Amino acid sequence: MKIIIIGSVAAGTSVAAKARRNREDVEIVIYEKDKDISYSGCGLPYYIGQDYITRDNLTPRNPDWFKKRFNLDIKTKHEVVAVDHKNKKIEILNIETGDKFSDNYDKLIFATGASPVLPPIQNIENDFIFTLRNVSHADKLYKFIETEKPDKAVIVGAGYIGLELAENLIERGIDVSIMELSKLPMSNLDEDVSVHIRKELEQNNIRFIGGEKLTAIEQKDNQKFVLLESGERIETDFVVLATGVKPVSELAKSIGVKTANNNAIIVDKYLQTNLNDVYAVGDCAMAFSSIDSSPMWVPLGSTANKMGRVCGDHITGGKLSFQGILGTGIFKVCDLAVATTGLTERQVQRSGIEYIVHHNFKPNQTEYFNTSSEMMIKMIAEKSSGKILGAQIVGKNGVDKRIDVIATAISFGATVEQLFHLDLAYAPPFSTTKDPVHYSGMVLNNAKNNDNPIITPQEVLDNPGKYIIIDVRSNSQYNEGHIPNAINIPLAEIRNRANEISKNKELVVHCNKGVSGNAAQNVLLNLGFERVYNLSGGYKNYKLISEI
């Protein structure tokens, strides 16, 4: 059997490695139009910004390494330009020589990845305009920075690459402006999470321009400008277009392979397309949600590696199948780590599931350590069952640990009650006695059972005048800032002053972050008040969301 793989980054090489581990008698050939293989695309921003990270760190393996280790052939600078699936033949262009030749296959795997989405503007091919998708792109930008010593940069797009690159350009002493079509960075997250990213950018003197459209990039004399739809002109030394990526699937579509609306190749749980013996893996292929099996396209190296392993196993007689993804991801911008797994609140709303949500502000470890810092966990669960649907976390320390615990819990169908009962590791340098994950599970379980219902700041903002709002913070905190028309009754006084509160309207109690608000909620419920909500994340969360 002969296996031909088109593409040799994470997914393609994973297919080849697993297939070889399973069988020695198959022939494996990979064609790659780039000069680099098996590189770390996620490491590209750090190669730009960190002196100790080299090109060799991103490209640790070459075709010779794979030949010696796995007895397979990787032909770089070779582009597959046509496929004749009826006769199981492909046509290949040697990019360096211009020669064309053909090859045959028994199994064909598309691992063609994704390519940058470029805005529809003129003069986009210019020596001061960059994209950052592969190592060659990074080389070009790195050389420009080294030789031109630029002072100012504009990044168009505030997704993973744009935000990570902004941090690394700041590390190199370059002033950075980020413009984004959405009003907040990282638009795939909920706005009450993205607002923390905007705040972090502002605190690090990175200008964020949200809700703006790029209309042109101009060069006049020695000056360069980015033009916005609002009419603003931003002077810059160079521009990086980080406006997203799209699946590379044109070749697959040319032979009748079916694709989704976003052009990602549709595959089954074995990564097979609608054509026999034709497969697709990695960023060019459509995955699915392990929560509800809906189509899901999240182009990440972790998913590409899993897809590749499953495909390589299946085509050589193995029993692995792809189990879907949660869309788990994490990135760092300046001092802030941002992570997500499962469904966002927007996605849950579109699904029609009745849900509960909680914003939990807690330290990552015991607070007397100087490395202790606050994180915010936004967790969403199904109201009827308590099944965890998703979480988003922002914070400086300990974010990766918590998102992985939650992703694992979701993968096994855990409920919020089970989350509270997890036997997690504790010692003061690593956690608090009641871990933030425990606390999220506890609060959501109480809300599920209607013991302690939660209300989000957005619900309060959307319904002015509907609720009596009781601020249980101190008088001084209240005077520094409060929700309009909120009544200040400090927690210590709530029992004695409960007769001042009407029992005929719905109440919202809150403190600064939620804990004292929960205590006040319990007091009022025990005193016979029937409709008392605790404000999710307290005044701190309300203030952030009200500024969106």
Dump pLDDT digits (tens) for 466-510: 999 999 999 999 999 999 999 999 999 999 999 999 988 899 999
Instruction: Summarize the confidence of residues 437-443 as an average pLDDT.
Output: 97
Is 284 part of the annotated catalytic residue set? no
DSSP letters for 232-293: -EEEESEEEE---EEE--HHHHHTT--B-TTSPBP--TT-B-SSTTEEE-GGGB-EEBTTT-
Which ranges in 44-130 belong to alpha helices (H)?
44-49, 55-58, 63-70
pLDDT exceeds cutoff 90 at 417: yes
What's the rounded Cα separation, in Å, for the pair 416 and 405? 13
Percent of the chain with pLDDT over 70: 100
Tell me the three state secondary structure of residue 377.
strand
pLDDT of residue 73: 97
State the pLDDT confidence band at 451, using cuts at 50, 70 and 90: confident
Global pTM reads: 0.94
State the pLDDT confidence band at 220, using cuts at 50, 70 and 90: confident
pLDDT of residue 384: 95
Instruction: Summarize the confidence of residues 212-239 as an average pLDDT.
Output: 93
Strand segments (E) across 164-210? 175-180, 207-210
pLDDT of residue 450: 83
pLDDT of residue 482: 97
- The Cβ of residue 65 has, within 10 Å, a number of other Cβ atoms equal to 13
Tell me the three state secondary structure of residue 359.
strand
pLDDT exceeds cutoff 90 at 125: no
pLDDT of residue 265: 98
Retrieve residue 506's tokens. 């719905």
Type of residue found at 536: S
Type of residue found at 55: R
pLDDT of residue 124: 85
What's the rounded Cα separation, in Å, for the pair 87 and 108? 12
Instruction: Summarize the confidence of residues 369-381 as an average pLDDT.
Output: 96
pLDDT tens digits, one per residue of 83-98: 999 999 999 999 999 9
H or E, element range at 220: strand 214-220
State the pLDDT confidence band at 123, using cuts at 50, 70 and 90: confident
40 Cβ neighbours under 8 A, 6+ residues apart: 57, 58, 59, 301
pLDDT of residue 127: 92
Instruction: Summarize the confidence of residues 529-540 as an average pLDDT.
Output: 96
State the pLDDT confidence band at 222, using cuts at 50, 70 and 90: confident
pLDDT of residue 15: 98
Instruction: Summarize the confidence of residues 126-143 as an average pLDDT.
Output: 95
405 Cβ neighbours under 8 A, 6+ residues apart: 422, 424, 437
Instruction: Summarize the confidence of residues 11-26 as an average pLDDT.
Output: 97
Instruction: Summarize the confidence of residues 341-348 as an average pLDDT.
Output: 96
Instruction: Summarize the confidence of residues 3-7 as an average pLDDT.
Output: 98
pLDDT tens digits, one per residue of 138-181: 999 999 999 999 999 999 999 999 999 999 999 999 999 999 99
The single residue of 42, 284, 334, 511 carrying the catalytic annotation is: 42
Q: What is the DSSP letter of 431?
A: -
Mean residue pLDDT across the chain: 96
Instruction: Summarize the confidence of residues 3-13 as an average pLDDT.
Output: 96
Instruction: Summarize the confidence of residues 38-66 as an average pLDDT.
Output: 93
pLDDT of residue 445: 96
Type of residue found at 183: K
- The Cβ of residue 490 has, within 10 Å, a number of other Cβ atoms equal to 17
